[in-house]
Structure 1
Amino acid sequence: MKTAFHTTKRSPGFSAIEEPSHAAARILALQFLATLEKIERGTDASFVDCGGRPPHDDESQIDEPAADRRPDVRAAWTSVPADLAVVAVLVARAFKAREGLLQALRCGSPVVVIATHAARLVEPVRRIVKHCIVGHDIGSTNLKSEGMRLLKAGRTGILVRDGLQDTDRPDYGNDLIAQALPIRVPLIGIAPDPMRHLPRDMVRAAEHRLALPALDRSMVEVVIEGLFGERATCRLNDELLRTLDIADFPVALRNVSTAVDAMEAIARTLVRKQAPLDASPSLENLHGYGEAKIWGAALIGDLEQYRSGQIRWNEIDNRGLLLSGPPGTGKTLFANALAKSSRVPLITTSVADWNSERHLSGTLRAIRDVFERAREAAPCILFIDELDGISSRACVSGEYREYWTQIVNCLLEQLGCHDDRTGVIVVGATNFPDRIDPAVRRAGRLDREIAIRLPDVIALVEIFRHHLHPHPPPDVSLMTLALAARGRTGADVEAFVRRARGLSRRAGRELTIEDVLNEIRQGRPVLSAMAKRRVAIHEAGHAVVGRALGVGSIVDISIHDAGGELILEPAFDGTSTLSTMEACLAALMAGRVAEEIVLGDVSIGVGLGSTSDLAKATRIAGDIELKFGLGVLGPIHVEMSSKDVLFLPGILEAVSARLGEAEKTARSTIEMYRRDLTLIADALQESGYLSGSEIEELLRSPDVDPSAMIGAVPIQT
């Protein structure tokens, strides 16, 4: 047996709003507005149609007025509140998507549930249903214990729940539904998420499950027509239209008298509304966010389907995210971009805000209040910064343990209340994810952690492009800026550009590349031509040997102010063998070997610091001997510091021998691929940056004149 609401293969829940006839939906919406106008004027509040005729049980008579007739509305301004008018248009569109539903409500006894998606819309929808759909000639009864005695044939039962009360849950109120169903009258339930907030038996019995649609261009035009008595074409561009919210209408239309002025006022309001977010890019224009950007794109799609009724809230899997990473990597920027692209409100808070309260009770109230605000604004994104400010209970002892335990428990309670968190996406941010209480990161809370890393060179180019918009310096090489800023954050880039603009403004001239470079370098010396040549040869050596021996895949290679860098995809993991490790060693030693082959000597940079080539190679060779069970001691795992290794007989010699063999392998490989070394070094010295794909394309080029090869012409060092 088929049911009326099971119309989509995607979800057995609230079906997508089928595309109705816009003309029919417009007529019904104007009927609703005419009825609301009469109520506001204090005149007859019964259901009226577009011709002013009395209500009919025949829906076809309601929907087919003369083409040149319109409802009784004022020519300049109606007394119907603008936000209520918008809700009336949304409800009309939702009901017109179901053929015969209006007639069934007046002649039959269907059970209808309506998803509003937001608590603040429950009461306006109830008013529309009561006055415009049910009407005074039929009457409605509030489905509560005290109202059940009034529910009888010829009336309609309405149950509203905004999801903010403890009793707004599926297991509460089923006894009332059991009493109402045998009376065989229309029953209508209204809630942000009926599956979460209405009695279970009411949802089970529902033949029709509706969801308020998202505002589109045609609905905006109907709202304006109904309020001002004249039609006007919606002139909002797509970017503004996607940010339009019901709450924008009262703000925009407060002192407007014509439809054309109304459209312009809405546009101005949205432009002002967008101003705080316009400074930040949308999610699709963010760069260097990797997995976080993929997560956000999936969420945007899910929210769009949720708002259109195609999926239920509990089908959205991306409801909680923990962003981690160093300061300045753009965690707050990500939240802004996510809200902008999702077209939902962003509510921001931080643990520092909560802890600014003088007493524990104030902190607990602050936590509950911000979640309450988020529930009222749903669907929305709640961004919690500095989440590590709430200490893990395992790290707290003594007199502070009970204090922090109550705070953590309060946060866990809010995060875990999925029934009360409908429509609220929680994004937490931290610089220290290991300090957060493990319970916060359990399934159903902030159960997905994504680390935002420092932007790479390509991401830095796009970040500079964004902050230099709309007028970057003429003839500027953004790659030059990105290479100089390698290792810095997006926040650093913003500061560099801001300070450079200030300098040029005070000097009364246009911004130049030197202004930005000076801010980046802050007096730091740059590589000389000779040093840059040596770095190019060194990094080309790594690239040639790593590529020839299959050590991971090259992401990019670059020269920056502090030297050079080759980025490889992970070269080894738990499935690696001894031959894999030996290839890694050869690739690490290859920069040193390339310098010696081409320039005749080796620089000390290969061994400067714990992140140098020689330090990395020594650690790997030591791990082969002491941890991986592949060395002279056989199958053994010993945790030892580098100093301790010196006192373990035979180990230092074994490590040194492995590094010597790695140098021999690197040397023979470079001699075999000398042409490749030449091509890569020349191109790198020229551009300062090569991506992995650019290296592959370069090496596929035809043979060059041997005189152009490194070594064929003496290099001055």
Structure 2
Amino acid sequence: MVTPKDADPEIDRGAAAAEDAAKAPQIDPVEAAAEVILRRALDAAPDLKKALAAAGVAVVVQMPGAGWMGPVKTVWGRVVWPHSDVDQDGDSIKTPFWRFPAHHTAWVVYRRDGTQKDLSPGRGNAGVSAALSAGCPVVGFSPVPERHLPRDLMRVADLRIVIPPLDAAALAETLGVLTGTLPTAALSETLCRRIALEDLRLAWRPGTDANGYMGRLRRLLEAKAASTGVVLGQLHGMDEAVTWGMALVRDLAEYRRGVLPWSAVDRGVLLYGPPGTGKTTFAKALAGSCGVPLISGTLSQWQAAGYLNDLLKVMRAAFAEARAAAPAILFIDEIDSFGDRTRFTHDNKDYSIQVVNGLLEELDGIGGREGVVVIGACNHPGRLDPAITRSGRLDRTIAIPLPDQQALARILRHHLGGDLPEADLSKASLLALGGTGADCERWVRGARRRARHGGRDLVIDDVLDEIRGLQRARTADEAYRYAVHEAGHALVLVVEEPGALVSASIRQTADTQGGVVADRRDRKPVTRKEVAGRLRMLLAGRAAEEVVFGDVSTGSGGNASSDLAQATMLAAAALNAYGLDDGVDGLLWRGLPTPDTLPATLSLRPDMGAQVSAMLADGYAEAKDLIQRHRQELECIARLLVERETADGTEIEILVYGGEDGDAIATPP
């Protein structure tokens, strides 16, 4: 035979190899893995195989996750009952047991993971009795048998088989089945926990050996791990959430090994806090630390599907996806947008109620959510339907506060990476007080852009300039007025609630000319005295301006987050919802006011408006009196803010009360 001179022998050999691979029998890697973990479960109890051969045996098989039900069921026949070539869906059996056709080669199967809403433990029991009475074996597959399989099957089950998850040893054995060789290096258990069934197929190539497959699978899983971006140990300023997350990492690992029942695992949490504090980042970090998939959604995304039935369908699909990937984390952002059913008064009230009911059904309804941890995140937990945070649903609530100075320094360092390794970030973190983790990321990105556009290396001043932002030029008089205003708030906090002041600042932002940050998480119960104190603090900025300048600016008024709006809301709540009024109209709950409802309520209730106005007038007069008595301290704080832009609470307390760095000016209460 003559070979053409332009033929390439290597190409010919490659084509021959491809042809041989095409002729080779194709093995589904998922089915191969399913057979391995099934055989391992059977081998763990040698008497099982004999028991499974009995006529009319009833078997319950508990799966490591819903996704394994199909593959394990597929290999069940050839592994357990190789001479049976017929399997019948038990849920399709409608005939009474005395009319059930007895096929010696038939076996009846139930596959339930909770996604079929019409299949509950009360359904399918006639099929169980019909099959067993005819001598046919019955097997039920489910990740949560007690919750999903027919009740009669659970009652009469002769055997219960628990299928272990795919670990490193089972994966290596699977590769032996697929390739005829064993890998020289095992996959870590951490990466094994990240394996989704489709990953096993994505890593497969015809003709590959065990090491080639393992290398491809490892790269796939490492890329998946890297996509989470951050793990819990890298989060700062959310200690309570991280502590809870670390405990969940341990519990999920034990649950996967079969050591810990799902009933002992925290399966839901509500995270709340200001925008940008890292609630979404926490969910990603938790999934990364647990080595489990993260599925996410929002009500607005689900609403985009169309009408009510379409919305409910895609919402259920998100939960079904999480159940299929279990153990997994389902993250629902902006969960407060679901609202509270007791407050729905609009034309779409019935629609909104059904949406909330649909969410409640998925959280703990008939389908269950074995292996699925649900994390809800919101800015306003008070707008959430209380049923969503009931026990068994999102029954743990964790605040994600604004980060303190130390946390901000660590967050800035994280985002700077290898840049400015020796830089002192204390000034930057002090200036950043009141900012969020998302702000830190934006500031560092902007600082790098400044340096890049300037054709030079990054310097700390780039970071400081980004934190300051695009500032409008202030005159000295303007800066001092803003400083006096914020000093008024800070002074009242320091005098009346020592330790509560976190920082005061006149740093300009897109929305404000400054502000104070307070930490009241450990404050005493709210009484009439506490309400009066908070009113004084809220109105102290305006009072300080009047005391120092003889007139006031608009700095206390404006939108619903302004000082005056917050004070009005607090006074109205004390009168109408907290039971702290003087009892003139009797003790009565009239509802918690909201920024949307309060203006109309005050217009319709002049008597209530007069009471609220009187409370504000008293608080304002008391704030002015306090500031007049402590004017020297006020002006010291204001000068410090003009000089520094931002000062932390400890520094201001030392300035007011004295300490190692100064003489006492005021006397603590």
Task: Give TM-score scaled by structure 1 length.
Answer: 0.65
Q: How does 1:654-669 map to 2 (within 5 A)?
A: 655=622, 659=626
2:172 corresponds, among 209, 221, 231, to 221
Q: How does 1:34-183 map to 2 (within 5 A)?
A: 79-106=26-53, 111-136=58-83, 141-142=87-88, 144=90, 145=93, 149-150=101-102, 158-180=109-131
DSSP-derived class of the 1:262 partner: helix
What does residue 678 of structure 1 align with? none
What does residue 416 of structure 2 align with? 468
C-alpha separation between the residues in 2 aligned to 1:417 and 1:293? 29
* 2:403 is the alignment partner of 1:455: yes
DSSP-derived class of the 2:423 partner: coil
* 2:215 is the alignment partner of 1:268: no
C-alpha separation between the residues in 1 aligned to 2:463 and 2:366? 48
C-alpha separation between the residues in 2 aligned to 1:97 and 1:522? 65
C-alpha separation between the residues in 2 aligned to 1:308 and 1:350? 32
Distance 1:566 1:336, change over 3 A: closer
C-alpha separation between the residues in 1 aligned to 2:219 and 2:228? 15
Identity across matched positions, percent: 33
C-alpha separation between the residues in 1 aligned to 2:191 and 2:580? 62
1:308 corresponds, among 241, 254, 257, to 257
What does residue 468 of structure 2 align with? 521
Provide Cα deviations, 1:296-328, integer angstroms capped at 9, x if missing partner: 344444433433334444554423x33333322
C-alpha separation between the residues in 1 aligned to 2:305 and 2:506? 47
Question: Quick one: which amino acid aligns to residue 213 of structure 1?
Answer: P
* 2:437 is the alignment partner of 1:486: no
Distance 1:460 1:110, change over 3 A: farther
What is the CA-CA distance between 1:199 and the residue it aligns to? 1.5
C-alpha separation between the residues in 1 aligned to 2:351 and 2:80? 53
What does residue 285 of structure 1 align with? 234
2:452 corresponds, among 505, 508, 511, to 505
Distance 1:584 1:393, change over 3 A: closer
Distance 1:253 1:189, change over 3 A: same
What does residue 271 of structure 2 align with? 323
8 A Cα contact 1:384 1:426, kept in partner = yes
What is the CA-CA distance between 1:81 and the residue it aligns to? 0.8
C-alpha separation between the residues in 2 aligned to 1:424 and 1:463? 30
8 A Cα contact 1:552 1:569, kept in partner = no
8 A Cα contact 1:339 1:345, kept in partner = yes
Provide Cα deviations, 1:153-177, integer angstroms capped at 9, x if missing partner: x976543334332453212223333
What is the CA-CA distance between 1:498 and the residue it aligns to? 1.7
C-alpha separation between the residues in 1 aligned to 2:517 and 2:275? 24
C-alpha separation between the residues in 1 aligned to 2:419 and 2:647? 21
What is the CA-CA distance between 1:646 and the residue it aligns to? 9.0
Q: How does 1:565-580 map to 2 (within 5 A)?
A: 572-574=523-525
* 2:287 is the alignment partner of 1:336: no
| Superposition CA RMSD, Å | 5.7
What is the CA-CA distance between 1:131 and the residue it aligns to? 0.8
DSSP-derived class of the 2:252 partner: helix
C-alpha separation between the residues in 2 aligned to 1:149 and 1:196? 29
2:163 corresponds, among 192, 205, 212, to 212
C-alpha separation between the residues in 2 aligned to 1:543 and 1:396? 39
Provide Cα deviations, 1:509-542, integer angstroms capped at 9, x if missing partner: 332222222111125599x9xx9xx99xx99x98
Distance 1:183 1:307, change over 3 A: farther
C-alpha separation between the residues in 1 aligned to 2:71 and 2:620? 81
C-alpha separation between the residues in 2 aligned to 1:581 and 1:371? 43
DSSP-derived class of the 2:101 partner: helix
What does residue 209 of structure 2 align with? 258
What is the CA-CA distance between 1:85 and the residue it aligns to? 1.4
Distance 1:473 1:192, change over 3 A: same
Question: Quick one: which amino acid aligns to residue 276 of structure 1?
Answer: S
What is the CA-CA distance between 1:343 and the residue it aligns to? 2.5
Question: Quick one: which amino acid aligns to residue 228 of structure 2?
Answer: L
Q: How does 1:383-402 map to 2 (within 5 A)?
A: 383-390=331-338, 392-397=340-345, 399-402=347-350
8 A Cα contact 2:59 2:139, kept in partner = yes
DSSP-derived class of the 1:213 partner: coil
Distance 1:428 1:474, change over 3 A: closer
C-alpha separation between the residues in 2 aligned to 1:315 and 1:466? 34
8 A Cα contact 1:163 1:192, kept in partner = no
Question: Quick one: which amino acid aligns to residue 209 of structure 1?
Answer: R
Question: Quick one: which amino acid aligns to residue 32 of structure 2?
Answer: A
C-alpha separation between the residues in 2 aligned to 1:89 and 1:463? 45
Question: Quick one: which amino acid aligns to residue 101 of structure 2?
Answer: R
C-alpha separation between the residues in 2 aligned to 1:161 and 1:392? 33
Distance 1:113 1:647, change over 3 A: closer
What is the CA-CA distance between 1:122 and the residue it aligns to? 0.9
What is the CA-CA distance between 1:271 and the residue it aligns to? 2.8
C-alpha separation between the residues in 2 aligned to 1:95 and 1:455? 52
DSSP-derived class of the 2:36 partner: helix
Q: How does 1:278-677 map to 2 (within 5 A)?
A: 278=229, 281-319=230-268, 321-390=269-338, 392-397=340-345, 399-469=347-417, 471-524=418-471, 572-574=523-525, 644-645=613-614, 655=622, 659=626
What does residue 11 of structure 2 align with? none
C-alpha separation between the residues in 2 aligned to 1:453 and 1:158? 51
Distance 1:500 1:104, change over 3 A: same
What does residue 147 of structure 2 align with? 196
8 A Cα contact 1:572 1:581, kept in partner = no
C-alpha separation between the residues in 1 aligned to 2:353 and 2:45? 51
C-alpha separation between the residues in 2 aligned to 1:246 and 1:113? 22
DSSP-derived class of the 1:149 partner: coil
C-alpha separation between the residues in 2 aligned to 1:78 and 1:476? 62
Distance 1:234 1:552, change over 3 A: farther
C-alpha separation between the residues in 2 aligned to 1:510 and 1:199? 68
C-alpha separation between the residues in 2 aligned to 1:378 and 1:629? 48
8 A Cα contact 2:113 2:367, kept in partner = no
Distance 1:195 1:297, change over 3 A: farther
